[in-house]
Structure 1
Amino acid sequence: MGVLYLVALGISITGMVVLDRRFRLFFWRDARRAAIVLPIGIVFFLIWDLFGIGLGIFFRGETAFMTGLQIAPELPIEEVFFLTLLCYLTMNLYGAFERREARA
């Protein structure tokens, strides 16, 4: 049960990839640009998290659904996958709205 959240994030990221592939929203539209933008977004939010943790604002929640693995104090491994999902979702939405505006 300790990997349930990580599995759910993996399934959600897979859903983003499927939508991206089907509608050519982000990676399938411009792989070079996407390979630059996605890691920049993830690193930005990881730095944001580290500052929040350092200031005592963010804390790791205790739940039986998480692995318990941490990449830094108070920073669980699941956070990297969540930030990946967040950034990928944002870029897919951007691609969808950009496509919609181009049609109008």
Structure 2
Amino acid sequence: MSFAYLGAIAFAALGTGAIDARYRLALFRDARRALLAVVVTAAVMLAFDLLAIQTGNFRLGASPWMTGFEVLPHLPIEEIAFLLFLAYVSLVAFTGAERVLVSRRTKEAR
């Protein structure tokens, strides 16, 4: 049992959170809306994962980097952490790109 993969996800999430805090892009701009967006997005992705597990397209493989804890059969705890991270990093990247594009547009308009 190893917590390497889960730890890497947490470490990456902390880095994303630091960028978010520095530039106030998502969670540090409007926490309620950001949390809602992350949870809803992760829930939709989880629904697709569950459907893929149900149809036999996703199976739990053996890996020395994972904890071995399964929330459901073929659904490791790391998958839920990854989906939450993916939704959060996507939101931060989107709002960051939006800010850059809006800033460029306003500079060009002057």
Task: Give yes or no for TM over 0.5.
Answer: yes
Shift of 1:66: 0.4
Q: What's the C-alpha RMSD, in Å, of the aligned pairs?
A: 1.0
Deviations 1:44-67 (A, max 9, x none): 111110000001111112111100
Which secondary structure does the structure 2 equivalent of 1:71 belong to?
Answer: strand
> 2:35 and 2:64 mapped to 1: Cα distance?
33
1:78, CA displacement in angstroms? Answer: 0.3
Partner residue of 2:107?
none
Query: 1:34 aligned to 2:34?
Result: yes
Under a length normalisation based on structure 1, what TM-score does the superposition of the two structures give?
0.95
Gaps of 5+ in 2: 105-110
Q: Distance in 1 between matches of 2:33 and 2:102?
A: 19
Instruction: Specify the SS of the correspondent of 2:71.
Output: strand
- The list of structure 1 runs, each at least 4 consecutive aligned residues, that deviate by more than 3 angstroms after superposition, is none
5+ long unaligned stretches in structure 1: none
Q: Give runs of aligned pairs for residues 21-60 of structure 1, distance below 5 A.
A: 21-60=21-60
2:94 maps to 94
Q: CA deviation at 1:2?
A: 1.1
SS in 2 for 1:27: coil
- Looking at structure 1, the residues matched to 30 and 101 of structure 2 have their Cα atoms a distance apart, in angstroms, of 18
Query: How much does 1:42 deviate?
Result: 1.0
70-79 or 30-39, which deviates more:
30-39
State the partner residue of 1:16: 16
Opposite residue 92 of structure 2, the aligned amino acid is N
Q: Which one is further off, 69-78 or 27-36? A: 27-36
Structure of higher CA gyration radius:
2
Across the two proteins, how many residue pairs are aligned to each other? 104
Percent identical pairs in the alignment equals: 36
State the distance in 1 between where 2:12 and 2:19 align: 11
Distance 1:37 1:69 in 2: 26
Task: Give the CA deviation at 1:26.
Answer: 0.7
Specify the alignment match of 1:75 in structure 2. 75
TM-score, with length taken from structure 2: 0.90
CA shift at 1:82, angstroms?
A: 0.6
